[in-house]
A and B are shown apart, each in its own frame.
Chain A
Amino acid sequence: MAANELLRISTLSVSFGGLKAISNVDMTVYEGELVGLIGPNGAGKTTLFNALTGLCRPTSGEIVFSGKNLSKKSAHYISRQGITRTFQNIRLFKSLSALDNLRIACHQNMSYTFLGGILKTKNASRQEEEAEKQAWAMLEIMGLSQYAHERSVNLSYGNQRKLEIARALVTKPRLLLLDEPAAGMNPAETQELLHLIRSLRSDFGVTIILIEHDMNLVMNLCERIFVLDYGVLIAEGSVEEIRSNEQVIQAYLGADV
């Protein structure tokens, strides 16, 4: 599995004023991996995602994604390089339909100009049709077709999470960051999510990093796990290694796991 290096983070730090949210984190993720990122609340997991997607600027250190240095780049540029994400608190375009949420996400796949759009050229209409087809196909894959014209805010919680993942996938990412995808789901939904994430990797060939508090999900799904505590990477390794790591048990898992 561990073939090509996709993402390398070296000595990455993010500070907010005097608070060091992340300090000197080193991480390497390989193409096709499914990686977990765990740690207690406030450990800096989401901040790490924010730094990776350009939503906050790293104070120091480097992020190299498939050979390109992304450390000081803007979020939309990073997205175009193939990193996209979902959010812990779902951030759908609430008042728009599920279909429109996905059509907006087709943005990167389209290229006609302002003038082309205003004159409705052949090229523009063809691209629009293509985008609509893509959006429908993605709804189909996620099993959300029947909600296509429903305002996204009216979808059930689990479906909103799915729609957000679908929206991220439409951008054709190479690296997908999932921020607590199972939060607020019941065990049955979580189980369904587990299968979904697995099939995402095989069907879309996307590398996934996952933040999650549901240890069952993480341990079942991920091949490698990184553990953050107070902004410091305290452990990395296979599920077994993490389970038996003394420091991780103290900081996060608790003695009984």
Chain B
Amino acid sequence: MTKRNIVVTALLAGFYLLVQLLAAKRVLLPYDLQILGLICINIMLAVSLNLINGFTGQFSIGHAGFFGIGAYASAYLTVVHDVPFLIALCAGAVFAAVIGIVIGLPALRLQGDYLAIATLGFGEIIRVVILNIPQVGGARGFSGISRATSFGHTYLFMILTVLIIKNFISSYHGRACIAVREDELASETLGINTTFYKVSAFTLGAFFAGLAGGLFSHYMGYINPAANQIGFLKSIDILIMVVLGGLGSITGSIGAAIFLTLIPELLRGLAEYRMIVYPIILILIMLFRPAGLLGGKELSWDALSRFYQRFAGKRQKQRVTGDGSE
């Protein structure tokens, strides 16, 4: 383990202990804790969608469908079949991944707008199918799910998700995905099986969305097949996090997920205007930062120190020229 890994691990563990401590002292109320958990779940969604949209360049807007599959499948297992929570959680994620393959194989033959429309359609199909299964509550929603997810669960799985996707991206498999985004034809002539990598990224993204879904349904104890839960509106929510943070930037997605989960909570009174504020944010970003706030770059200590050095260097230079003119 390198020094940096130890520091990062210590920071992550420290944050967790701090939250637990504050929760025990009743500084953080259960409500605050719930929001922290939702942030973790949204980070998982945003980072996994970024793998598909940002790194592999396959514009999918049906991500909430996989979230819904994970949420419902795992809840069905724990409620109806008494399966232990963690096993049901993993089973839900695997199920979402399998559906990801089934949908990905035909849909990923399409490109650009067509792919977006197809994934949107598939997402809605998933929602409507769930809506019509009486065993999981149908339109009334699925209630009576045990609240098995703790903040610790969401925090741990969020870290795992980010770590796995980060390592995947820096492997040659991840580079193949990026190559697909950059130029599919050229990738093929270099021996990269582009279909395989598109479907792989899609499946991996669906897996983590399913995982997030399972965590969510067991966090809330209730889930319903509304558009803003597992449908189109939720997909758009996730997409905005990815676009705001920057396509192809993991840290960007994390930052945007935190920001966009907190904003509606901080501006409770304006909650109804969220769907007005979101498009405005999107338009502004498209105008001024088309590649997202971080635009494919990662926020890291290295980048910060480089930025600082450049900034400091400029100031020094200014002082030198200033001296010269005196």
- Count residues of chain B with CB under 8 A from any CB of chain A: 26
**Bound Cα distance from A119 to B171, whole angstroms:** 10
| A92-107 CB contacts (< 8 Å) to partner B | 92-96, 100, 103-107
Quick check: is B186 within 8 A (CB to CB) of the other chain? yes
Contact with A along B174-203 (1 / 0, CB 8 A): 111011001101111111111000001000
Report the separation of the CA atoms of residues A54 and B187 in the bound assembly, to the nearest whole angstrom: 12
Whether B191 pairs with A127 at a CB distance below 8 angstroms is no
Closest to B163 in A: A118
- Assembled-state Cα–Cα distance A106/B171 (Å): 12
Q: Which residues of A contact B170 (CB under 8 A)?
A: 117
The 0/1 profile, CB within 8 Å of A marked 1, for residues 82-119 of chain B is: 00000000000000000000000000000000000000
Chain A residues positioned under 8 Å from B192 (CB to CB)? 76, 104, 107
Q: Does A110 contact B (CB under 8 A)?
A: yes
Is B288 engaged at the interface, CB distance under 8 Å to the other chain?
no
Partner of A55, one of B189, B190, B191: B189
Q: A169: shortest Cβ distance to chain B, in Å?
A: 11
Question: Is A174's CB within 8 Å of the partner chain B?
Answer: no
Q: A104-B178, A107-B172 are in contact. Are A171 and B183 (CB under 8 A)?
A: no
Number of interface residues of A (CB under 8 A): 39
Let me know if A91 is at the binding interface, CB within 8 A: yes
Interface centre among A53, A106, A118, A124 (most CB of B within 10 A): A118
Chain A contacts for B188, CB-based, 8 A: 54-55, 74-76, 79
Do the beta carbons of B191 and A93 come within 8 Å of each other? Answer: no
| Bound: A76/B183 CA distance, A | 14
| Interface status of B150 (Cβ within 8 A of chain A) | no
Distance (whole angstroms) from the CB of A131 to the closest CB of chain B: 7
Further contacts, 5 of them, CB under 8 A, given A75-B189, A93-B179, A103-B172: A74-B193, A93-B183, A104-B176, A104-B178, A119-B167
Nearest 9 A/B pairs, CB to CB: A117-B171, A75-B188, A93-B182, A79-B191, A108-B191, A91-B186, A110-B172, A104-B179, A76-B193
Please list 25 pairs of residues, one from A and one from B, whose beta carbons are closer than 8 Å in the complex, sorted by A's number: A53-B189, A55-B189, A74-B193, A75-B185, A76-B187, A76-B188, A76-B190, A76-B194, A79-B189, A84-B191, A91-B183, A95-B182, A103-B175, A104-B176, A105-B190, A106-B172, A108-B191, A110-B172, A112-B172, A117-B172, A117-B174, A118-B168, A168-B189, A168-B190, A171-B190
